[in-house]
Structure 1
Amino acid sequence: MHRRRRTALLLSAAIAAAPLLAACGTDAHPGAAAVVGGQRITMAQLESRVSEVREAQRAAVDGDAQYAQAVAKTGTLTRDTLHGMVLDRVLHRAAQDAGVTVSRKEVREMRAGLEGQVGGAEALRTAWLQQYGVPPERLEENLRLQLEAQKLATRLGTDTSQPAFWKALSQASRKLDIDLNPRYGSWDVDKSSRVDEQAPWVRDVTTQQAQQPA
């Protein structure tokens, strides 16, 4: 995955199309989409995130045709969602290791500044949904993650596009011992990124079902 794309995912809440896949969970972690630092990200949690973004997309457009277009543009969001959910935890661990914290005041200030730039609260919610796939209820959570990333980079004397920043995430990934359900690929520790694994028994039918009229 391109470094800038991974950075964009880093700064976005994890959302996706519902993970309706023609495969079963792993025997090692039944019902888990991933295990990060010994904690499960369950299929139910992933599906909940999926529902949030799809409901937001549905509410933001007029009619089935526009919704189908939105779905078509986000056909890989199941995997992108899990990528984001895992990467959020990696980032938080890296920030903790570096002694980085983010206050509610800082989040509020960032939100107010962004609202001023884009033309108000509703415009910000719309922009974050369209650009990053972040539903309104996840906006402040996403802004907190952005601030964590920015402050971590500053603490490291770099920025979020540079190798030093991603090295810190790689170290955090290694500590968390990340294990993905094979249907979603695997986690590349060195790149702090999810990678696909080609398997004939995995078939993602999410986009087809999401495009069917409600």
Structure 2
Amino acid sequence: MHRRRRTALLLTAAIAAAAPLLTACGNDGHAGAAAVVGDQRITVSELESRVNEVRTAQRAAVPEDAQYARVVAGTGGIARDTLHGMVLDRVLHRAAEDAGVTVSRKDVQQLRDELERRTGGAEALETTWLQQYGVPPRRLDDNLRLQVEAQKLASALGTQTNQPAFWAALSKASEELDVDMNPRYGSWDAEKVGRVDAKTPWVREVTAGGQQGTA
């Protein structure tokens, strides 16, 4: 994945379509998991909840049925990007911890105040982040915290977020966390610090009718 693309994914939260219900094949540690990052599991239900948050916010912002349908159609294939973002958030936090970087509530508020001035107020900022980055209002501060964390990590490393030294730190953190992604969504490449497609699933989709098949 291109460095610029990865930076964009780092500093934004992608929107996603509702994922199918999944069950694990053979590994109890993966049961119901979309990914395992270190000792933390990102469950399928968590991923679906994130999707629902965005969809609810989008629906509130776009009440007209046809327009909303176009929004959904335009973002119907990026559940993997949502999970990518959730994993990358944890990788970034680990890299920041390794570098001794911390983020205070004041840091986040300062960034929010600055962005509100640029966009024309709190509501305008929330609308911009939802439309451009798929971040629902309730997740805005969390997203801004990640942006601050990324910038402070880059500063601590004496580099910028689009430079190799920054991504090398994230690659190291990825290796430390030993990210294991459900192949329904792809796999995690620690060197590239990103999701890649995978062909060997360890999950089965469960259809509404109760039939099971290989994902």
TM-score calculated relative to the size of structure 1: 0.89
Structure 1 equivalent of residue 76 of structure 2: 75
The answer for the alignment partner of 1:40 in structure 2 is 41
Once the 2 structures are TM-superposed, how far is the Cα of residue 14 of structure 1 from its aligned partner? 5.2
SS at match of 1:41: strand
Give the drift of 1:202: 9.0
**Aligned positions of 1:79-158 closer than 5 A:** 79-158=80-159
- Confirm or deny: 8 A CA contact 1:36 1:177 kept in the other structure: yes
SS at match of 1:161: coil
The separation in 2 between residues aligned to 1:77 and 1:161, in whole angstroms, is 23
Within-5 A mapping of 1:161-180:
161-180=162-181
**Residue type matched to 2:26 in 1?**
D
- One-letter amino acid matched to 2:75: T
Higher RCO, 1 vs 2 (CA within 8 Å, ≥6 residues apart) = 1
Equivalent position amino acid for 1:163 in 2:
P
Once the two structures are superposed, what CA deviation does each residue of 1:57-98 show, in whole Å capped at 9, x if it has no partner? 111113121111111221232111100000000000000000
Partner residue in 2 for 1:207: none
Q: 1:131, 1:202 → 2: CA distance?
A: 32
RMSD (Å) for aligned C-alpha atoms: 2.0
Q: More strand per residue: 1 or 2? A: 2
Q: Where in structure 2 are there 5+ consecutive unaligned residues? A: 206-215
Deviations, residues 124-172 of structure 1 (Å, cap 9, x unaligned): 0011011111000000000000000000011111111111100000000
- The one-letter code sitting in structure 1 at the alignment partner of 2:7 is T
| Higher share of residues assigned helix | 1
SS of 1:194's equivalent? strand
Instruction: List gaps (5 residues or longer) in structure 1.
Output: 205-214
Aligned residues: 203
SS of equivalent residue, structure 2 residue 188:
strand
TM-score by length of 2: 0.88
The residue aligned with 2:26 is 27
Deviations 1:96-129 (A, max 9, x none): 0000001001101110110000101111001101
Q: CA–CA distance in 2 between the matches of 1:68 and 1:120?
A: 28
CA distance in 2, matches of 1:180, 1:104: 31
Residues 15 and 133 in structure 2, CA contact (< 8 A), matched pair in contact too? no
Counterpart Cα distance in 1 of 2:138 and 2:62: 18
Give the direction of change, closer, same or farther, for the CA distance of 1:45–1:163 in structure 2 (3 Å limit): same
Q: Are the counterparts in 1 of residues 36 and 181 from structure 2 also a CA contact under 8 Å? A: yes
Secondary structure of the 1:182 match is: coil
Identity %: 71
Instruction: Work out whether residues 15 and 52 of structure 1, in 8 Å CA contact, stay in contact via their aligned partners in 2.
Output: no
